[in-house]
Amino acid sequence: MSQESHKISTSAQEIVFDHVVKMYPNSATPAVDDLSLTVPAGEICVLLGPSGSGKTTALMMVNRLAEPTGGDIRIGGRSIRDLDPIQLRRSIGYVIQQTGLFPHLSIAANIATVPKVLGWDRKRTKDRVAELLDLVGLPVAEYGSRYPTQLSGGQRQRVGIARALAADPPVMLMDEPFGALDPITREHVQDEFLALHERIRKTVIFVSHDIDEAVKMGDRVAILREGGRLAQYDPPRTLLKKPADEFVARFLGADRGLKRLSLVRLSDLELTPAPDTGGGELPGLPGDATLRSALSLMVAEGADAVRVTGDGGAVLGTASMDAVRKAGAA
Ligand SMILES: Nc1ncnc2c1ncn2[C@@H]1O[C@H](COP(=O)(O)OP(=O)(O)O)[C@@H](O)[C@H]1O
Ligand SMILES: [Mg+2]
């Protein structure tokens, strides 16, 4: 077999957990118990659950930082057991909360670590570093020679993502990558990562204990419960509309209806034509505002509808409280 055939391709790959069990030595109960789920190629799967529900363990089994004690994991149809752990890890991007950047290396050198290990020449490495820093919005001319301490927390996470992407891996594993960021920075980096994902379409497994983050980031969300058992695996909308059981409903919270509204934008609604007066007496929102914002504004202003505006402030129509409620229940 040639050297190449041992490698995992760089295009996105499906990941399958097939009755995976992890029993740590000397523990009475499994950390992950009979986990089966499929992450389609190019999608983001969020593992969501309370502390100790086995999220990190499930993630670390994919790159064999933890070995499954039962079942199998397949990437692009190939069992991870048949892949060399070192090579496997090099072909999977891994991002953790404490970025793990080397403090004594410049940003450029940090990103170049994997290409170096892979034996890329100087030019190819240099070009790749510049390309990646550009991709995460940190131009190499300005940031390449800085050190990790000379960046903000959000910028460090972006470097962590760039470094994980260095070898163009088909799969990315992200363990609460934005957990240490303040809420505003976190929102920014989430938005950036989603925009980046639109372009690179890797298969991503993303661990979170934050429901809003999971609902925002996940094409599908897997809810794990104590003992590492899967409670539900569905797209966010389904999850919020039809929690599988009491545990999931409680975990998602009493405001899951509002969370559902945050998944729909005013521009997704069939708007009512604005009255001849232009609807100027109604509070206004842009079309890309969520139904959750619309509801909040109506409650705050004591209004029964909002005026929806498009690019350049043109009035697109109005959305009533009733229309918002119906869309949320759909
Ligand atoms: N290296 C380890 N050795 C023994 N038990 C562990 C180890 N790592 C995690 N555990 C246990 O496995 C369970 C799941 O842990 P973890 O996967 O870290 O959960 P989460 O990421 O959801 O918080 C916990 O009960 C934890 O104590
Ligand atoms: Mg964890």
Give the residue whose CA is nearest to atom 4 of ligand 1.
Answer: 24
For residue 226, which of 52, 82, 67, 56 has the smallest C-alpha distance? Answer: 52
Q: How many other CB atoms sit within 10 Å of the CB of residue 34?
A: 16
Question: Does residue 277's CB lie within 6 angstroms of at least one atom of ligand 1?
Answer: no
In the predicted structure, residue 33 carries a pLDDT above the cut 70: yes
Judge whether 292 and 262 are in contact, CB under 8 Å. Answer: yes
Give the ligand at the shortest distance from the Cα of 23. 1
* Mutation test residue for ligand 1: of 17, 20, 26, 27, the one with most atoms within 8 Å of CB: 27
Q: Ligand 2 centre from 55 Cα, in Å? A: 6
Question: Does residue 102's CB lie within 6 angstroms of at least one atom of ligand 1?
Answer: no
And the tokens for 329? 């229940």
Q: H or E stretch including 315? A: strand 315-320
What is the C-alpha to C-alpha distance for residues 313 and 310, in angstroms, rounded to an integer? Answer: 5
Share of the chain above pLDDT 90, in %: 67
What is the C-alpha to C-alpha distance for residues 112 and 166, in angstroms, rounded to an integer? Answer: 7
Give the number of C-alpha atoms closer than 13 A to the C-alpha of residue 306, restricted to the C-beta side: 26
What is the C-alpha to C-alpha distance for residues 159 and 112, in angstroms, rounded to an integer? Answer: 11
For residue range 39-78, list pLDDT tens digits in order: 999 999 999 999 999 999 999 999 999 999 999 999 999 9
* Mutation test residue for ligand 1: of 17, 24, 35, 59, the one with most atoms within 8 Å of CB: 24
Q: Which long-range contacts (CB under 8 A, 24 or more apart) does 245-253 make?
A: 248/223, 251/49, 251/50, 251/211, 251/223, 251/225, 252/211, 253/211
Which atom of ligand 1 lies nearest, measured to the CA of 207?
Answer: 21
Q: How confident is the model at residue 9 (pLDDT cuts 50, 70, 90)?
A: low
Question: Does residue 30's CB lie within 6 angstroms of at least one atom of ligand 1?
Answer: no
For residue range 97-116, list pLDDT tens digits in order: 777 889 999 999 999 998 88
